[in-house]
Amino acid sequence: MPKRAKRQYRHISAFILLCLARQSMHGGAIHAALLARMPGLKIDTGAVYRTLQSLEAEGQVVAVWDTSRPGPARKVYTLTAEGLAKLEVWKQDIEHRLGILEQFLSDYRALDLPPSR
């Protein structure tokens, strides 16, 4: 897996929890929502389902089978209180990282380097 993809997978739990904070949905819908809201994100459905399994095991999401529609049943995931608390931790972590990155960019701009070719 390319390094860029590995870095994107680091925050997949946060991205999924954020989707589920908006509404309950099944794995395929979560994947589609992530791609729609974050067009630069490169993530496969397998990673979404593996992460959902982990989040469910950790009590951050719960799942129920939806059999109300024609076709195969779908496992619909809902954020729990534990998941909401973890989402807040992710928010704080990302804000901290953004602050560091913004300082880097500010310091870089102040270098007054010649333009690159």
Per the document, the length of the chain is 117
**How confident is the model over 4-8, as a mean pLDDT?**
51
Q: In this model, does residue 117 exceed pLDDT 60? A: yes
Rounded to whole angstroms, how far apart are CA atoms 54 and 49?
9
Task: Give phi and psi for 63, each to the nearest 5.
Answer: -130, 145
What's the confidence (pLDDT) of residue 62?
Answer: 98
Q: Which amino acid is at 45?
A: T
15-69 per-position pLDDT tens digit: 999 999 999 999 999 999 999 999 888 899 999 999 999 999 999 999 999 999 8
**How confident is the model over 82-100, as a mean pLDDT?**
97
Rounded to whole angstroms, how far apart are CA atoms 54 and 50?
6
Burial of 20: CB neighbours in 10 Å, binned 0-12, 13-18, 19+: buried
**Structure confidence at residue 115 as a pLDDT band (50, 70, 90):** confident
Predicted TM-score (pTM) of the model is 0.84
CATH topology of domain 3-109: Arc Repressor Mutant, subunit A (1.10.10)
